[in-house]
């Protein structure tokens, strides 16, 4: 049953006990209900963050003000997922002028970076966990400058006001949630070489913080006060930047063999947010928009939708394996193109128009057998405007990310996906916040086996490929009907695609659309969240794998003049509206 008013639905339930090589795979499965409101709505991954957003909206702030306040609180209460040491993508839409904007706050490779930075003595890429050791995976953070950009473009409240909820929580403390406690417990083995992080999140006897314990972070409160008072130059040019660079030097010095520190003060001082052209495409009677390069998520989902449009999904039922087979096959082909073509378009030619060309997608769809898998791995297509031969990059981002969706009473809509990459990022902590490991979102190998360059190879000043994709769907009158996004690394396109099909084709209510079990295909095995469809899909030729899916979909739907907010049951999210 839906409810009206300022409503909060989140009960911390015991987390799944399944272990995973990546601790961010811990999930919750708490039953939730959608929230209905008339004036504004805020949905984020943690109740404290949603309440901070609501506080800003109640004070007359904009959705951008609310998003900034929520993000700062998320940095504190779910430090494993996002924060000042990372980056984000933001999509905004204004009811006043109908303008859609895309902001790129993705991290950046330092100027001294080289394509060979993650090759071992044998010339082969080092392993993932070796790559994030000793600070070598930290890219220049983009989030602080992005928050400043958002405030200057869309803010109403004073800058310092937005920091108050996070400062108060950092100084007075908050109760450790089940998710944070579980991730700290599961990740203990990863933190043996990061004593400064253990000193913050673990007891003196080595045990991690427990559920319900009060956790304070005075170092983070100090960082926030500095940025609130002096602006983000305090981060990029002031004392915080000095601490960050010193931490990287310290981490490099602890390496068994010398590791050069790539990031310099000039890299931090030079970082700028970029306003990019949104990427949009039709799907039946709708128009779906997301952020463009260096995020691959929007193009990947738009390609998938362009292929699925050739099939009558609305007449099929979610209990039928046929539409799920089609979703898997469309994703398989979109990911094949992602592997070869998608990267930072400031550095490589990315044929976005060709990949979304209607004739090209019709040809890709025609190759899908509605009843059987043709191949477990398909090659990339040849879209119009395709660049010379490139080697595929099959590396997949880890799921250490968060998402929030907010709309204010003036109709400003903000969808933000934010990340420090894998859970707890680089495991290095500065000023109470964790540093990212987003350099590992580049291809660790600069060339393929045939010597062809990889589009997503490391280059100085380049931004690593991402799958983050804050998304807004518009109707035929160019009015929003849905805004959403999710964490999940390279699984994000699959999470968003499933939710779009459930909502737009199957007309499911918003909460049910988010909660519907996931199916992913990243040009390989078909990954299922539960085993119900496994026999039927296996009969169609799918190699299947069943595993928990750590999505965190947070969405707002626009229904007949009302706002409907919903948070993914798999995480600790909360929708609040008035």
Per-residue pLDDT tens over the stretch 156-170:
999 999 999 999 999
pLDDT at 191: 76
Instruction: Name beta bridge partners: 85.
Output: 435
Please tell me what DSSP assigns to residue 522: S
Among 159, 97, 168, 79, which Cα is nearest to 428's?
79
At residue 399, the pLDDT reads 64
Q: What is the mean pLDDT of residues 355-383?
A: 96
Residue 389 has pLDDT above 80, yes or no: no
Q: What's the pLDDT at 130? A: 87
Asked if residue 436 lies in contact with residue 139, where contact means CB atoms within 8 angstroms, the answer is yes
pLDDT of residue 189: 76
Measured CA to CA, the distance from residue 576 to residue 2 in angstroms comes to 12
Q: 208: exposed, middle or buried (C-beta count within 10 Å: 0-12, 13-18, 19+)?
A: buried
Mean pLDDT of the residues in the chain: 92
Burial class (CB in 10 A: 0-12, 13-18, 19+), 17: exposed
Could you read off the pLDDT of 188-208 as tens digits, one per residue? Answer: 877 777 788 888 999 988 889
Question: Residue 117 and residue 131: Cα distance in Å, rounded?
Answer: 9
Query: Does the pLDDT at position 392 exceed 90?
Result: no
The residues with which 272 forms a beta bridge, in sequence order, are: none
In a domain, 341, yes or no: no
Q: Which residues contact 153 (CB under 8 A, 6 or more apart)?
A: 64, 92, 101
Domain encompassing residue 151? 3-274+395-577
**Quick one: which H or E segment has residue 92?**
strand 87-94
Share of residues in the chain with pLDDT > 90 (%): 84
* Residues 88/142, Cβ–Cβ less than 8 Å: yes
Beta-bridge partner residues of 414: 92, 406
- Segment 470-486 shows an average pLDDT of 98
Question: 490 lies in a domain?
Answer: yes
Nearest to 88 by CA among 233, 352, 274: 274
Contacts of 158 (CB under 8 A, 6+ apart): none
Q: Where are the alpha helices (DSSP H) in 78-217?
A: 128-131, 143-154, 164-172, 178-186, 195-201
Closest CA to 76 of 211, 219, 190: 219
Task: Give 223-274 as a DSSP string.
Answer: HHHHHHHH-THHHHTSHHHHHHHHHHHHHHHTSSS-------HHHHHH---E
Report the C-alpha gap between 312 and 72 in whole angstroms. 43
What DSSP designation does 190 have?
Answer: G
pLDDT the model gives residue 15: 23
Q: Residue 449: its pLDDT value, please?
A: 82
Q: 323 lies in a domain?
A: no
Task: Average the pLDDT over each of 50-54, 181-185, 187-191, 416-420 and give the range with the smallest value.
Answer: 187-191
Asked whether residue 443 is domain-assigned, the answer is yes
Q: What is the pLDDT of residues 102-134, one digit of tens each?
A: 999 999 999 999 999 999 999 999 988 888 888
Average pLDDT over residues 453-459: 95
Three-state DSSP class for residue 155: coil
Spatial CA neighbour of 163 closest among 69, 55, 47: 69
- Is the Cβ–Cβ distance between 5 and 578 less than 8 Å? yes
Distance CA 418, CA 440 (A): 16
Catalytic (active site) residue 401: yes
The SS3 call for residue 575 is strand
Task: Identify the band that residue 503 occupies on the pLDDT scale cut at 50, 70 and 90.
Answer: very high
**pLDDT tens across 335-350, in order?**
999 999 999 999 999 9
Provide CB contacts within 8 A for 375, sequence distance 6+.
none
Residues 401-425 have a mean pLDDT of 96
Token match 């295909």: residue?
521
Answer yes or no: is pLDDT of 388 > 90.
no
Residue 27 within any structural domain of the chain: yes
| Cα 34 from chain centroid (whole Å) | 22
Q: How many domains does the chain have?
A: 1
Cα–Cα dist 54/577, whole Å: 8
Please report the pLDDT score of residue 396 as a whole number.
Answer: 64
Tell me, rounded to whole angstroms, the distance of Cα 6 from its chain centroid: 27
Whether 163 maps to a domain, the answer reads yes
| DSSP 8-state assignment for residue 84 | T
Kindly give the pairing relationship between strand 87-94 and strand 519-521. Answer: unpaired
Q: Is the pLDDT of residue 10 over 90?
A: no
CATH of the domain at 415: 3.60.20.40
SS3 441: helix
Is residue 17 pLDDT above 50, yes or no? Answer: no
Q: Kindly tell me if the per-residue pLDDT of 489 is higher than 60.
A: yes
539 lies in a domain? Answer: yes
pLDDT of residue 288: 98
- Token digits of residue 438: 């987003």
Query: Is the model's pLDDT at 23 over the cut of 60?
Result: no
pLDDT tier for residue 13 given thresholds of 50, 70 and 90:
very low
pLDDT score at 26? 53
Q: Exactly one of 149, 182, 273, 401 is catalytic; name it.
A: 401
DSSP states of 316-371: S-TTSHHHHHHHHHHHHHHHHHHHHH-S-TTTS---HHHHT-HHHHHHHHHT--TT
For residue 261, pLDDT beyond 80: yes
Backbone region of residue 86 per phi and psi (left: phi > 0; alpha: psi in -120 to 50; beta: other values)? beta
Residue 283 lies inside a defined structural domain of this protein: no
């Amino acid at each position: 049953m839906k409810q009206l008013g300022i409503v909060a639905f989140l009960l911390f339930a015991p987390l799944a006990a399944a272990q995973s090589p990546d601790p961010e795979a811990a999930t919750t499965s708490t039953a939730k209900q959608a929230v209905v409101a008339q004036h504004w709505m805020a949905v984020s991954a943690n109740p404290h963050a949603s309440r901070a957003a609501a506080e800003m909206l109640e004070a007359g702030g904009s959705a951008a003000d609310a998003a900034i306040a929520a993000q700062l609180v998320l940095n504190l209460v779910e430090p494993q997922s996002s924060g000042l040491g990372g980056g984000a993508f933001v999509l905004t839409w204004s009811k006043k002028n109908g303008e859609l904007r895309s902001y790129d706050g993705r991290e950046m490779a330092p100027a001294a970076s080289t394509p060979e930075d993650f090759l071992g003595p044998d010339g082969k890429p080092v392993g993932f966990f070796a790559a994030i050791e000793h600070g070598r995976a930290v890219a220049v953070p983009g989030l602080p400058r992005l928050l400043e950009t958002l405030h200057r473009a869309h803010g109403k409240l004073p800058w310092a006001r937005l920091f108050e909820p996070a400062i108060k929580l950092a100084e007075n403390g908050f109760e450790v949630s089940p998710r944070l406690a579980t991730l700290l417990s599961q990740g203990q083995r990863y933190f043996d070489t990061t004593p400064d992080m253990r000193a913050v999140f673990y007891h003196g006897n080595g045990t991690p913080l427990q559920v319900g314990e009060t956790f304070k972070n005075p170092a983070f409160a100090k960082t926030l006060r500095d940025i609130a008072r002096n602006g983000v130059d305090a981060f990029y040019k002031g004392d915080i930047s000095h601490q960050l660079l010193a931490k990287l030097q310290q981490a490099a010095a602890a390496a068994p063999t010398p590791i050069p520190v790539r990031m310099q003060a000039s890299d931090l001082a030079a970082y700028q947010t970029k306003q990019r052209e949104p990427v949009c495409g039709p799907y039946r009677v709708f128009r779906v928009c997301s952020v463009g390069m260096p995020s691959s998520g929007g193009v990947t989902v738009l390609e998938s939708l362009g292929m699925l449009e050739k099939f009558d999904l609305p007449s099929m039922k979610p209990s039928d394996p046929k539409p799920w087979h089609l979703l898997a096959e469309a994703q398989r082909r979109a990911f094949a193109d992602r592997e070869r073509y998608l990267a930072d378009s400031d550095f490589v030619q990315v044929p976005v128009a060709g990949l979304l060309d209607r004739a090209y997608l019709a040809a890709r769809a025609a190759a899908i057998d509605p009843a059987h898998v043709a191949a477990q791995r398909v090659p990339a297509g040849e879209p119009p405007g395709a660049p010379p031969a490139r080697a595929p990059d099959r590396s997949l981002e880890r799921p250490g990310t968060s998402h929030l969706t907010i709309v204010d009473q003036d109709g400003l809509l903000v969808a933000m996906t934010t990340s420090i990459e894998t859970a707890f990022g680089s495991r290095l902590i500065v000023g109470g916040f964790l540093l990212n490991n987003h350099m590992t979102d580049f291809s660790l190998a600069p060339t393929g086996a045939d010597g062809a360059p990889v589009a997503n190879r490391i280059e100085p000043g380049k931004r690593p490929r991402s799958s983050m994709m804050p998304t807004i769907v518009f109707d035929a009158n160019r009015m929003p009907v849905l805004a959403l996004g999710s964490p999940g690394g390279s699984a994000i396109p699959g999470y968003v695609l499933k939710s779009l099909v459930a909502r737009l084709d199957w007309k499911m209510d918003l909460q049910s659309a988010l909660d519907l079990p996931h199916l992913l295909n990243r040009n390989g095995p078909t990954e299922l969240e539960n085993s119900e469809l496994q026999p039927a899909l296996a009969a169609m030729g799918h190699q299947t794998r069943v595993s928990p899916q750590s999505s965190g979909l947070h969405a707002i739907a626009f229904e007949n003049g009302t706002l409907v907010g919903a948070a993914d049951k798999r995480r600790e999210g909360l929708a609040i509206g008035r």
